[in-house]
Structure formats: structure tokens, C-alpha cells
Amino acid sequence: MRHIDIATFTPSTEWQEKAKKATDDVLAKATSKERVDYLKKHSGVWKALGKELIAHFGNKCWYTDASNYGARLDVEHFRPKAKTLQLTEEDCKEAGDNLLLKLPVFGRDGYWWLAFDAENLLLCAQVMNREEKRNFFPLHKDSPVASETNKAAWRSEIPVFLDPRNLDDVCLVTYDETGGMRPRSGLTAWEQLRVVITNEVFGLSRFQPLTEGRQRTWQACTSLIEKYIRAAAKQRQEGIPNPVLQQEKNDALLSLKKLLHPDEPLATVAASCLNNSPYEWARVLASHP
């Protein structure tokens, strides 16, 4: 999962005008069927925002941190536009019994009034959006719940799903050598639950091409770390500066830095590998992509 600094992005004036008109139109519809029909006919509005988001943030899924896994990008509604689905115990099995007790499970109408709201639109790989997440949107058991009669309450809701636009959410996640996503250490039960449920419902550790891609990135980082360590050990043995060995060290560091670059696929996995390293220099490097 990559962090998206959404404060750096402003939709074009043209898009904002279209979105406002579409929102006004859907608010004027009297019935749920009329609203759903309108949304189906005007999907081009949020798809147009997707082009602007890609132009600004790049062609990578905000949840997988990759562009070549999970098919092309969708403009995903963080809060589902038409309806929400209920999570079941089977959906939440990976959370464990102790965490499951904290999870509210209910279904309700969607957030149709946010269908054209840029604050509700993200970039997500099709597999994760259409086949996995679909219309799920669980909330904390004590969360307020927005509704047709209390639309503004969505800003006070406490979602279970992690939001890539929230840096604190992104910092809850780490990866391992198997290619799996997991909670970092030291989290509260609620924070662990959020990571586990996001991972499970979006299928972020279940889609094999993605996990294999993470494994390759992890292995590449591990090999470069070992290359640096070997060159450093030889330098210590020789006891004098050796330009060839110094160049080997520099090459390894530069290759690692490239893997950490935000534009690189799975840069967050490379950062996790370095942060899980026993070497302080690797952890320092991870903090300076």
C-alpha cells in the first residue's frame, strides 16, 4: 500500500463543474431506482477523474503499489455508491476470534450522494476492486452511520478499511519474504483488525501474481544487502580503502535506492525489507527513498 498525498491534487475546474452538476442531479432523484439508473448512466464522470489522478500520481494502484498486477486501474468508490455488503464470519476468519468481536457486521444503503465526490474516489486495481472488495464497507461497532437522512455523518464514521490517503493508515502495514501483507508490530487490537480485514477483503495477500512480485522485490533487496555486506567485510579485512570494493558498496546502495523510489513498483515492499534488516544502515536508507 502506497501513501497518496491527496493535498497535492486538485481536480480540474471542468471536472468539478461536471461533478457538481451530477451530484445535484442525483440528489434531485426521488427514488432509489432513479438514483441507481442515473449513476449507471454517468459513470464517465468519475472515470474522467481517474485520468487526472493517474496523470498526477502515476499509473499505480494505491492499494497494491503496482501497475502490472490486478489488471488495469479502476476509479474505486471508497464508500460504495449503490449499496454496502455485510461482512460474515467467513469474510473475517483471518482476524481471529478476539478481534472479530470488535467488528460490526451489517449491510445498508450505499453512499450515492458521494458518487461524484473526489474525496470518495481512489485508484484501485480491477481485481482488488471488482472481484474482492466489491461493495463491502464495514465500520467500527461504535461508529456513527451516515444515511439518506443524515448524509453529513459520513465524515464522522470510523471505517475498518485502511485509506491510502491517510499516512497513519499506511504506516500500519508491513510485508514479509512470503509476499504477504501484515500488521506491523506494536499495534492496538483495532489497528491490527483494520490491517487484517483490509488485507483479507481486498485480497492483497491472496492474488498470486502480486505476492510473487513482492517476493521478487524482497529477494532483490536481500541480494543487494548481501552484496553490500560482502564488500564491507572485505574492506575491513584488507584494512585499507579499496576503490573497487567501495564502488561495489555504492552500486548496491544506489540499486536499493532505486527500488525505494516512489515511482518504482512495490517500493513499499523494498522499504519493508530494509526496515526488517538487522543492519542499521539499511534502516536508515529506507527512511531516505
Average pLDDT over residues 194-205: 93
Helix (H) or strand (E) holding 24, with range, is: helix 13-27
Share of the chain above pLDDT 90, in %: 79
What pLDDT score was predicted for residue 105? 54
What pLDDT score was predicted for residue 101? 42
Residue 248 CB: number of other CB atoms within 10 A?
A: 18
d(CA 163, CA 255): 30
- Nine-digit cell string for 172: 500500519
Lowest-confidence segment of 4-8, 159-163, 187-191, 215-219 by average pLDDT: 187-191
Share of the chain above pLDDT 70, in %: 92
Model pLDDT for residues 217-235, shown as the tens digit of each residue: 999 999 999 999 999 999 9
- Nine-digit cell string for 24: 445535484
What pLDDT score was predicted for residue 96? 55
pLDDT-derived band at 239 (thresholds 50, 70, 90) equals: confident
* Reported pTM: 0.90
Residue 217's nearest CA partner among 72, 66, 62, 70 is 66
Model pLDDT for residues 135-171, shown as the tens digit of each residue: 999 888 888 999 999 999 999 999 999 999 999 999 9
Contacts 24+ apart (CB under 8 A), 266-271: 266/65, 266/66, 266/213, 266/214, 266/217, 267/2, 267/65, 268/1, 268/2, 268/65, 268/170, 268/173, 268/175, 269/65, 269/175, 269/214, 269/217, 269/218, 270/217, 270/218, 270/220, 270/221
> Between 94 and 29, whose confidence is greater?
29
Tell me the longest C-alpha to C-alpha distance in the chain: 81
> Between 40 and 239, whose confidence is greater?
40
Average pLDDT over residues 276-288: 93
Contact (Cβ atoms closer than 8 angstroms) between residue 48 and residue 15:
yes
d(CA 268, CA 257): 12
Model pLDDT for residues 85-123, shown as the tens digit of each residue: 777 666 666 555 555 444 555 667 899 999 999 999 999
